[in-house]
Amino acid sequence: MSDQANGGNMGAQLRVLTQYVKDLSFENPNAPGSLGPVDEQPQINLKVDVGVKRMNDNDFEVSLKIGADATVKEKPMFLIEVEYAGLFRLTNVPETDLEAVLVVECPRQIFPFARRILADTTRDGGYPPLMIDPIDFVSLYQQRREQMSKEVANAAQPN
């Protein structure tokens, strides 16, 4: 069926208008002492968050915040945080699908760039590049929805 037969409506579209680093921080508090060989694997803690800001009817800023800290024997090696964002134009996306597109598909598009920044910065800090595994944004989205549902349910219960 042609677009004309559909009343001229095109399918849903997602365009990346631009992408950029909003914030980048790297701390190397015990260098140069922490840069030598270590006798055990560092403990790496990772935090991930997705933020969405509506700019106008069709444009959204989606930011991916990734933070990691590495310690050996409870002594900090490094701390890194990056907030990497993209400006996305969404057209013909049904309102019911909008949230999922913004917090799953948009971060998936910009994740490789944020991952590269983390790897390059840790390498430039004197460590092996931090290569984080791909993030399952669908699971992250589902966990957040479950958590929000529980919070709403708990808030609705009388004390």
Question: Does 6 score more than 50 pLDDT?
Answer: no
pLDDT of residue 156: 67
H-run or E-run covering 118: helix 106-124
pLDDT for the residue 153: 72
* Cα–Cα nearest to 49, from 24, 84, 25, 80: 84
- pLDDT band (50, 70, 90) for residue 158: low
Pairing type for strands 75-91 and 59-72 reads antiparallel
Give the closest residue to 119 by CA, choosing from 134, 127, 130, 132: 130
Under the banding of pLDDT at 50, 70 and 90, the label for residue 154 is: confident
Position 124 scores a pLDDT of 95
Q: How many C-beta atoms lie closer than 10 Å to residue 30's C-beta?
A: 13
Condensed to tens digits (0 to 9), the pLDDT of residues 8-39 reads 457 889 999 999 999 999 999 988 888 877 78
Which pLDDT tens digit goes with each residue over 88-137? Answer: 999 999 988 999 999 999 999 999 999 999 999 999 999 999 999 999 99
Query: Per the confidence metrics, is the pTM higher than 0.75?
Result: yes
- Confidence band of 143 (pLDDT split at 50, 70, 90): confident
Q: How confident is the model at residue 157 (pLDDT cuts 50, 70, 90)?
A: low
